[in-house]
Amino acid sequence: MTTQEFQALSPDTLAERLGPIDAIRDRLGDPKDWTMREVGDGNLNLVYIIDGPEGSVIVKQALPYVRLVGESWPLPLRRAFFEYNALKRQDERDPGAVPEIYYFDEDQAIIAMEFLSPHVILRKSLMEGKRHDGLADVLGRFCARTLFRGSDLSMPTAQRKADLALFAGNAELCDITENLVFSDPYFEAEMNRHTPQLEPIVAALRADSDLKIAAQHLKMAFANNAETMLHGDLHTGSVMVTDTETRVIDPEFATYGPMGFDIGMLIANFLMAYYAQPGHAEAEGARANYQNWILSVVEEIWGTFTAEFTHLWRTERTGILYQASLFEDQGDALASEQARIERLAAIWRDCLGFCGIEMHRRTLGLAHIAEYDEIADDAARAACEARGLMLGRALAVGRVNFTAMTEVTDLARRIN
Ligand code: ADP
Ligand code: MG
Ligand code: MG
Ligand code: MG
């Protein structure tokens, strides 16, 4: 097969280009009757919904640049290859958690996948004050299963090493995380922006040696501790929900990194949604119960994560680490449990650190969150954001001192 020069899809060319592909046409029916709309609300890629007489399909295409910024910021098409490979592995490790893939074209950076409907992006739903049954369970389990099963705790080590090498190729996307998440918030980086009223807090954070050192320790962990295959961008904009169903999308930042990264980033986005609620409340105080629900989700995500991780530790430790031959097979299950508790404690500390840093970068860096951005009044927005910044600092710097998620949620409530 010859390599075709990359061409961005457009509504005019979608039917002509994708119509001949059996895997897509079989889902949709006759290309003559296809209609399409662009739905991409993300920062990086083109996303279309194609509706046909027999069904609908999502078509996601990487562009050779960052969609949010434009052609001045080139970004490799190869991220679609990493997204495809991550989706396949996530589906194996936690079946049903991610959209089914129908077709992948590496040269054109196109993934055709299951159209999740009537799902909406969780972030939007959190702004609207909606609750979702099973949300914490699915997310906690997804983290435990993908993180455990992508690591040397579970995988044949040759396969893990091959995957480590494969995902090391996603260097440009890692570079974005390394700069935007771990460094830019703490100096006057060119693409940063923040609400003007935050200026005194921003100055204090940038003068805070302990915080900057913590951020760099965490950056080192992200860049060097290749424990498992991460989703890499697991925020509430990468989760789609109905009242009762939760799915995960958009793992193009997949890379080998520390287990605490995904779960910490995820929890940070819930904590920011918690702080943003007054900016979206129908009347003052109207979201108080909903805020409690968000914090209960945070507690449950961690609870489910640890329960599932523990289950997998006890039943699926098939990799090269902490082998049963050293512990259970010698009648020493206690030592295996002690090792598990120590591993979970390390993940916990990382999780809180990454959580804190994520709360900073979404407020001070390039990529913000809609929950904050859509609060029109600067002063009202700054009041929400400031609380998130303070909690973020406490978590990043004080991460070794917390012993339970209820301590984190208590602190979240106390900061004002
Ligand atoms: P980006 O990498 O640019 O952030 P995403 O994969 O997050 O792109 O997709 C952008 C948007 O497209 C999502 O926020 C969601 O609204 C929609 N979308 C993406 N994948 C699906 C899907 N499988 N089903 C339904 N909608 C989707
Ligand atoms: Mg996205
Ligand atoms: Mg997005
Ligand atoms: Mg993305």
Within this chain, do residues 30 and 125 fall inside the same structural domain, yes or no? no
CATH number of the domain encompassing residue 311: 3.90.1200.10
Using 50, 70 and 90 to split pLDDT, how confident is the model at 396? very high
| Count of the separate structural domains present in the chain | 2
94 and 145 in contact (C-beta within 8 Å)? Answer: yes
Per-residue pLDDT at 2 exceeds 70: no
* Tens-place pLDDT, residues 229-247: 999 999 999 999 999 999 9
Within this chain, do residues 151 and 173 fall inside the same structural domain, yes or no? yes
* Tens-place pLDDT, residues 347-365: 999 999 999 999 999 999 9
Residue 4 is assigned to a structural domain of this protein:
no
Determine the Cα–Cα distance for residues 347 and 264; give it in Å rounded to an integer.
9
Burial, 278: exposed, middle or buried (Cβ in 10 Å; 0-12, 13-18, 19+)? middle
Within this chain, do residues 210 and 83 fall inside the same structural domain, yes or no? no
Within this chain, do residues 371 and 260 fall inside the same structural domain, yes or no? yes
Residue 176 is assigned to a structural domain of this protein:
yes
Within this chain, do residues 232 and 295 fall inside the same structural domain, yes or no? yes
Ligand 1 centroid to residue 247 C-alpha, Å: 11
* Tens-place pLDDT, residues 158-209: 999 999 999 999 999 999 999 999 999 999 999 999 999 999 999 999 999 9
Looking at 87, 114, 141, the residue that finishes a domain is 114
Give the closest ligand to the alpha carbon of residue 111.
1
Within this chain, do residues 246 and 387 fall inside the same structural domain, yes or no? yes
Q: Which among 117, 348, 355, 127 has a CA at the least distance from the CA of 242?
A: 117
106 and 100 in contact (C-beta within 8 Å)? Answer: no
Within this chain, do residues 105 and 125 fall inside the same structural domain, yes or no? no
Q: Provide the mean pLDDT of the chain.
A: 97
Residue 6 is assigned to a structural domain of this protein:
no
Determine the Cα–Cα distance for residues 52 and 34; give it in Å rounded to an integer.
4
What would the mean pLDDT of 387-410 be, rounded to a whole number? 98
Best probe residue, ligand 1, of 47, 83, 252 (max atoms within 8 Å of C-beta): 47
Radius of gyration for the chain, computed over Cα atoms and rounded to the nearest angstrom: 22
Q: Look at residue 189 in the predicted model and tell me its pLDDT.
A: 98
Q: Look at residue 356 in the predicted model and tell me its pLDDT.
A: 99
* Structure letter (DSSP) for residue 246: E
Within this chain, do residues 68 and 96 fall inside the same structural domain, yes or no? yes
The residue type found at 134 is: G
Ligand 3 centroid to residue 333 C-alpha, Å: 44
Residue 392 is assigned to a structural domain of this protein:
yes
Looking at 66, 94, 114, the residue that finishes a domain is 114
Residue 371 is assigned to a structural domain of this protein:
yes
The pair of three-digit structure tokens given for residue 176, joined into one six-digit string: 């974005």
Ligand 1 centroid to residue 253 C-alpha, Å: 14
For the Cβ of 68 lying below 6 angstroms from any atom of ligand 1, the answer is no
Using 50, 70 and 90 to split pLDDT, how confident is the model at 1? very low
Q: Is 383 left (phi over 0), alpha (psi -120 to 50) or beta?
A: alpha
Determine the Cα–Cα distance for residues 84 and 95; give it in Å rounded to an integer.
15
For the Cβ of 250 lying below 6 angstroms from any atom of ligand 1, the answer is yes
Within this chain, do residues 86 and 143 fall inside the same structural domain, yes or no? no
Residue 322 is assigned to a structural domain of this protein:
yes
For the Cβ of 113 lying below 6 angstroms from any atom of ligand 1, the answer is yes
Within this chain, do residues 212 and 232 fall inside the same structural domain, yes or no? yes
CATH number of the domain encompassing residue 83: 3.30.200.20
Within this chain, do residues 185 and 74 fall inside the same structural domain, yes or no? no
Asked if the bond preceding 251 is cis, omega within 30° of 0, the reply is no
Residue 231 is assigned to a structural domain of this protein:
yes
Determine the Cα–Cα distance for residues 46 and 59; give it in Å rounded to an integer.
8
Q: In whole angstroms, how far apart are CA 247 and each of 131, 213, 305?
A: 15, 35, 16
Within this chain, do residues 106 and 134 fall inside the same structural domain, yes or no? no
Ligand 1 centroid to residue 14 C-alpha, Å: 17
Residue 379 is assigned to a structural domain of this protein:
yes
Write out the residue range of the structural domain in which residue 351 sits.
120-414
> Is residue 46 classed as helix, strand or coil in its secondary structure?
strand
